[in-house]
Homo-oligomer: A and B are copies of this chain.
Amino acid sequence: MGIANLEWGQVLMMLVGCVLIYLAAVKNFEPLLLLPIGFGAILSNIPVAGIAGPDGLLGYVYHVGIETGVFPLLIFMGVGALTDFSALIAMPQTLFLGAAAQFGIFATLLGALALNLVPGFEFSMADASAIAIIGGADGPTAIFLASRLSPDLLGAIAVAAYSYMALVPIIQPPIMKALTSEADRKVTMQQLRPVSKLEKVLFPFSVLLLCILFLPSAAPLIGMLMFGNLLREVGVVDRLSRAAQNEIINIVTIFLGLAVGSKLSADKFLTVETLGILALGALAFCIGTAAGVLMGKLMHKLTGGKVNPLIGAAGVSAVPMAARVVNRVGLEADHHNFLLMHAMGPNVAGVIGSAVAAGVLLALVGG
């Protein structure tokens, strides 16, 4: 009988799973990931059944898909196939905003190391790096890096990353308003130039080239992202593009979620470290947002007022949520100020930026 074998930790973890499913189903928190993660947490904590064990379904899936890094890379291929980089190509200087927002990552790294001063915390440099990547606001990047640097913390890191991505509409606006004046937020930006098909096709090669030359450790992530984008833009392989955008990403999302859920075991999740990770994750999003907005203000100055500083907040990624938040805050200041397309530039720049940051951490801390 299951009831006799149930331990308190398992019961609590099942409740954690239920909370995640509640957030996904009712609060619409990144439901595509948090729902399978939550259900995976429930299944994994069932006594006797051993579903997350070496001979259980989720154990196999984790072994095949996450230990190898395959699933996050396939998700990245799908994200590339789903993403239109036009806004970034039209305004490449928004990459600076995507760069600034990565400060959330590195500040959090310091924060995680500093937590070691508190008794009960013992984060190694690898742990701290894996936690810091939550600030990248990019789920597959976080899972990929955590699976490489700190598999034990993977569950908590993934949960924190997706939860805060869902909370972007709540976390970001106060910071954005605190750092900008009403006049700043009213700045209208000129319409983006059209981007030719050739530029869109050359774009993935440009990014990949720099990655090869300067940061090969980021090549798996950047490479698959750009491969997906090339499938999308090249125009002659629609069958493959659609497979990457639909079948592959959908199937992998189900299994990725379940497998991440299989790491939510009581002994690894019900620790003080998880509390630290959740706190650091919130910190990471706040600092990343602030850094993005401040860089936005700098660009506002340097361009003579052409850039609305708000769009810097979109640099954290969390595509397309952060761009929508920017748009909403802009509309609050001026009912005719549509910033969505301008915010898409830093938004997708943030994806590249956090993949670059992940590459840096892999190169300097990993292996």
Contacts and interface: CB of A to CB of B under 8 A. Distances in A.
B213 A2 contact: yes
B49 A60 contact: no
A223 B46 contact: yes
Interface residues of A, number: 65
Contacts of A214: 1-3
A237 B237 CA distance: 27
Contact of A48 (B216, B231, B247): B216
Contacts of A205: 18
A244 interface: yes
Interface in A12-69: 14, 18, 21, 24-25, 28, 31-32, 35-36, 39, 42-43, 46-49, 51, 55-57, 60, 68-69
Contacts of A216: 2, 5, 46-49
A227 interface: yes
Q: Chain copies in the assembly?
A: 3
Contacts of A240: 32, 35-36, 250, 253-254
Interface centre among A14, A48, A73 (most CB of B within 10 A): A48
A365 interface: no
A50 to B, nearest CB: 9
Contact of A236 (B25, B208, B258): B25
A48 B217 contact: yes
A208 B32 contact: no
B244 A247 contact: no
Contacts of A42: 208, 212, 223
Contacts of A68: 55, 57, 60
A250 B211 CA distance: 28
Interface string A231-263: 100111101101110111011011000100000
Given A39-B230, A70-B57, A49 B236 contact: no
A1 B215 CA distance: 6
Given A3-B214, A247-B243, A236 B46 contact: no
Nearest to A253: B240
Contacts of A18: 205
Contacts of A154: none
A24 B219 contact: no
A52 to B, nearest CB: 11
Nearest to A42: B208
Contacts of A237: 24, 31-32, 35
The 3 closest A-B pairs by CB, nearest first: A2-B216, A243-B250, A49-B219
Given A6-B213, A21-B230, A43-B223, 18 more contacts: A1-B214, A2-B215, A25-B236, A35-B236, A35-B237, A39-B230, A46-B212, A46-B219, A49-B219, A55-B68, A57-B73, A57-B220, A57-B224, A239-B246, A240-B253, A242-B250, A243-B253, A248-B254
Interface of A: 1-3, 5-6, 14, 18, 21, 24-25, 28, 31-32, 35-36, 39, 42-43, 46-49, 51, 55-57, 60, 68-70, 73, 201, 205, 208, 211-217, 219-220, 223-224, 227, 230-231, 234-237, 239-240, 242-244, 246-248, 250-251, 253-254, 258
